[in-house]
Amino acid sequence: MYKNKLTLKIFFFIVSTDILETFTQYCFKRSAIPQGDVFIKNFLDVIIFLKPIVFSGFLWLGFLSVFVTFVIWSSILSKIDLSVAVPIASSSYILIPLVSIFFLGEVMSLLDWAGILFIVIGVVIVSSSIKKEKAIIP
Amino acid sequence: MNQHVSIFAILFLIILSNVFDTINQLFLKTSVNSLNLNINSIRNVISFILKLILIPKVWVGFTFCTLSLLVWLFVLSKADLNYAFPVGSAHYIFIALGSRVFLKEKVGFKRWVGTIFIIAGIIMLTCSNY
């Protein structure tokens, strides 16, 4: 078993944790939306606020998603350097704008495209930094 | 920007949130370094999960993760996104430094350049959107 080798499989796992994280946020948001007009002034209000959230399926789906993300992320960290895994996880910053363009028909400015390009270049450079070290060690 | 909280207080809180998350990642990384995962059967995956949740360091990391999230949510409730996000991308610097100092990872010139490109990209994306 090679340690510290970035394979395509690991790369897809990292991207999948980003997607799951987005899904988690969506679930938590959905579970809390019906309570948007509840004002919390005392302890009783907290219970009134939390009760429908706790009974909403979305909260528990969110928790499940947190757990799955945690297990996948731990398994990634058991394979590669932290200083490589975290920068590669920044590809999530690209996913959201790309989804907005292709599925929501949003228009991107030149600066947005430059930002996406910079992140892609950064991810490629960080990913390639691991191969070079691999070549030196043996 | 909310008038009640100064920009320096927000800056401090963003950095605090970043540091908490970095501590979380460092704890998690040192815990799983000893584990070896082979994803070839459900049995192996389940034994990996069981080993994972029995490591105390994982729970220390989880506590810091929660703290980091709480501070970050507080920041988002007080500051504009186009200020919080670019500053928050300093997270990558903390991760690189932490990995180098505590995990003895070889963070060479190339990895720093890549990380700085990513930070620059995030700043461009978040500054132009809002």
Summarize pLDDT for B66-78 with one digit per residue, the tens.
999 889 888 888 8
Query: Which pLDDT belongs to residue B129?
Result: 57
Give me the domain span that covers residue B34. Answer: 7-129
Q: Which residue has the tokens 């430059």?
A: A114
Per cent of chain A over pLDDT 90 is 16
The model's pTM is: 0.81
Cβ atoms within 10 Å of B38's Cβ, excluding its own: 10
Distance CA A10, CA A95 (A): 17
**Is B91 among the domain residues?**
yes
Query: Which pLDDT belongs to residue B39?
Result: 67
Chain B hits for A77, Cβ within 8 Å? 25, 28-29, 32-33
Q: Quick check: B30 and B24 in contact, CB under 8 A? A: no
Query: Which pLDDT belongs to residue B88?
Result: 87
Do B115 and A87 lie within an 8 Å CB cutoff?
yes
Q: DSSP class of residue B106?
A: -
Prediction ipTM score = 0.81
Q: What is the mean pLDDT of residues A70-76?
A: 90
Instruction: Kindly state the tokens that stand for B18.
Output: 């970043």
Name the A residues in 13-32 with CB < 8 Å from any B CB: none
**Is B42 among the domain residues?**
yes
Contacts 24+ apart (CB under 8 A), A44-51: none
With 90 as the cut, is the pLDDT of residue B23 above it?
yes
**Is B24 among the domain residues?**
yes
Query: Which pLDDT belongs to residue B113?
Result: 94
Q: What is the mean pLDDT of residues B67-96?
A: 87
Query: Which pLDDT belongs to residue A1?
Result: 41
Q: If we measure between CA atoms, which residue out of B114, B116, B128 comes closest to residue B89?
A: B116
User: What interhelical angle do B56-78 and B81-88 show, nearest 10?
Assistant: 150
**Is B2 among the domain residues?**
no
Give φ, ψ of B4 to 5 degrees. Answer: -75, -25
**Is B59 among the domain residues?**
yes
**Is B1 among the domain residues?**
no
Min CA distance, B71 vs chain A (Å)? 16
Provide the domain count of chain B: 1
Query: Which pLDDT belongs to residue A4?
Result: 66
* Structure confidence by residue, pLDDT tens digits, A87-130: 988 887 888 778 778 877 778 888 888 999 999 999 989 988 87
